[in-house]
Amino acid sequence: MNNKLHKTSKHLFVIDINMAFQTDALVARKYKIIERIGNGKFGFVYKGVNITSTEPVALKFEDKGTVFKLLKRETTILNYLYNHKCRNIPCVYWFGQYDEYMGTVMPFYDCSLHEYCKLKTISVNKLNILIVKCVQILESIHMNMVIHRDIKPHNFMVKNGDIFLIDFGLATFYLTEDKLHVPNVTSEHITGTPRYISHHIHTGCTPSRRDDLISLGYIYIYIYAKELPWDSVMTDITISTLTDESHIMHSKNQQRMILKTHDQLIPVCKQINECIENYFLLCNAYDYVDDPHYNSLCSLFISKS
């Protein structure tokens, strides 16, 4: 994707949407906007309330003119997954047009895993239980031919002691209508968040199931150590004139790629525990089209919890 398109679309959208949405505005005659709580990839996220049931909800809006229709993609995939009995994902309450924007209404969650980790210390036992639950969530969407492609702590939400995976704007089907795996086509631009994408994505590979799982392993390291080995990488202007950090040849991504290689990562995992070391040994052994053995990955942590 062209990052300049991202910036241009988002900048125009910020101007328009601040003018369009006011506190107490009513969407679909049922959902009242309370306050803006965050930015999406091409729009904004608001906290609201169902005026009939008083249930808190999240409302997301996207300019109809946005080049990348992420909100429509997300809604389509979420409805598909929910109809196929995936439950640790958002249920779409409403999707449609509101003024000059497309909008959707979903459940409101207490906080993200990223926020939760800053507020509370998670023991190794709880971390192991958490990672098992996350693997099971990934298995539930993977078995329905969907990969998420943006696994990070900000996209796991906590509510009533349970964990949910959100933000399916980059999600896609990894099988064709003929049940064939989509080909591994080399790309110059990464899909996902540079900090959490797998080593394979840094090399230009098309994301697959193994990459969702590898990104989840990085989350484990982050929660345990409060940082990732590649957090301190800096742009080297002497070797790169690229300003677009979505490009695989950007100097930061080149450094991240090296630090995420098997030889660099396993010594880091050894300093943490055997669970995450063996997790990466399994994940790194998967080829692009392989069907991961989710039970084996879960068993690494269950026996230690």
Average pLDDT in the 15-32 region?
Answer: 73
Highest mean pLDDT, choosing among 44-48, 114-118, 140-144: 140-144
- Residue 23 confidence (pLDDT): 75
Of 107, 133, 162, the last residue of a domain is 107
CATH number at residue 102: 3.30.200.20
2 pLDDT higher than 70: no
Do residues 44 and 182 share a domain?
A: no
Do residues 103 and 127 share a domain?
A: no
Do residues 92 and 137 share a domain?
A: no
242 pLDDT higher than 70: no
Do residues 120 and 245 share a domain?
A: yes
Dump pLDDT digits (tens) for 246-297: 999 999 999 999 999 999 999 999 999 999 999 999 999 999 999 999 999 9
Distances 105 to 91, 205, 285 between C-alpha atoms, Å: 9, 33, 40
Do residues 179 and 298 share a domain?
A: yes
Judged by average pLDDT, the poorest of 19-23, 127-131, 216-220 is 19-23
Do residues 78 and 212 share a domain?
A: no
Dump pLDDT digits (tens) for 154-190: 999 999 989 999 999 999 999 999 999 999 999 999 9
pTM of the full structure: 0.90
Of 107, 126, 154, the last residue of a domain is 107
14 pLDDT higher than 60: no
- Residue 99 confidence (pLDDT): 86
Q: How far apart are CA 141 and CA 288, in angstroms?
A: 17
Range of the domain at 60: 3-107
Do residues 250 and 238 share a domain?
A: yes
298 pLDDT higher than 80: yes
The answer to whether 244 and 159 have CB atoms below 8 angstroms apart is no
- Residue 148 confidence (pLDDT): 98
Do residues 140 and 289 share a domain?
A: yes
Do residues 118 and 99 share a domain?
A: no
| Total domain count, the chain | 2
Do residues 297 and 167 share a domain?
A: yes
CATH number at residue 206: 1.10.510.10
Do residues 123 and 99 share a domain?
A: no
Average pLDDT in the 88-101 region?
Answer: 94
Of 107, 132, 161, the last residue of a domain is 107
Residue 208 confidence class, pLDDT cut points 50, 70, 90: very high
What residues act catalytically? 150
Do residues 97 and 116 share a domain?
A: no
- Residue 111 confidence (pLDDT): 93
- Residue 192 confidence (pLDDT): 96
